[in-house]
Amino acid sequence: MIGKKIRFGQPPYSFQVHIDDEQAVEQLTRSLTSQLKEVPAHRDIVIVCIGTDRSTGDSLGPLAGTLLSKKRRQRLHVYGTLADPVHALNLESVLEQIAVTHDSPFIIAVDACLGRMKNVGKINVAEGPVHPGSAMKKKLPAVGDMHITAIVNVSGMMEYFVLQNTRLHTVMSMAEHIAESLRKTDLRLRDRTVEPAPAPTKTTKSFFPSPSLEVQPIRKS
């Protein structure tokens, strides 16, 4: 649970759902709401949508940020849109700006991932930061107290070309799911209508960086 210490041996909270699931948005909303209800009201909740519109596969973050920025929000602050993307070249400066602008910000990173074929189309929600650029072997700061990652295509070889040949329909659909679930989460945080979270998914350990990643964050300017 966000805001509480994790007992020794207990894995961080994580949840995963496929966009083809008819209840995907509702399940994501319940997952996010159950975690964010632990964030004190005085802390700003900041959504950092990482990516670039110069690559189809890597445009997940800016697309989600653009969609969310157009929705009415109360507690959520959005960084990273198609007009003003957050990417490798400005990530550090954006994080510095957030630290100065917001009171004890609770940051949720939104990023695209590469993974196994069977997992393409899945959206992950988990405690802890995302590590942008790990698939490209870039050394960038970890981002987030919590993260949302979307598996847009298959990892393995020639990631740059894989990203360029990722279907826009897949990326757009995942961005819409993320933006809508965050919008609904914002409403529930305001109304304090909190439903039980979906059961944590046991198969989401792989999106924490390691040499044998099943899911790899992607980042390039």
Contact 46, 196 (CB under 8 A): no
pLDDT exceeds cutoff 60 at 135: no
Task: Give this prediction's pTM.
Answer: 0.82
210 or 94: which leads in pLDDT: 94
Burial of 15 (C-beta count, 10 Å sphere; 0-12/13-18/19+) = buried
Work out the average pLDDT over 51-56. 93
Contact 115, 216 (CB under 8 A): yes
pLDDT exceeds cutoff 90 at 92: yes
Domain boundaries, the chain: 38-203
Please name the helix (run of DSSP H) or strand (run of DSSP E) that holds residue 184, with its range, or none.
helix 168-191
Q: What is the pLDDT of residue 220?
A: 45
Work out the average pLDDT over 173-178. 98
pLDDT band at 103 (very low <50, low <70, confident <90, very high): confident
Q: What is the pLDDT of residue 200?
A: 66
Q: What is the pLDDT of residue 137?
A: 59
| Rounded (5°) CA angle 200-173-73 | 75
Q: What is the pLDDT of residue 208?
A: 32
What distances in angstroms separate CA 153 from CA 16, 61, 94, 176, 214, one per listed residue? 16, 14, 27, 17, 12
Give the domain 38-203 fold.
Answer: Rossmann fold (3.40.50)
Contact 155, 135 (CB under 8 A): yes
What distances in angstroms separate CA 139 from CA 61, 92, 171, one per listed residue? 19, 11, 25
Q: CA-CA distance, 58 to 216, in Å (whole number)?
A: 12
Q: CA-CA distance, 123 to 50, in Å (whole number)?
A: 15
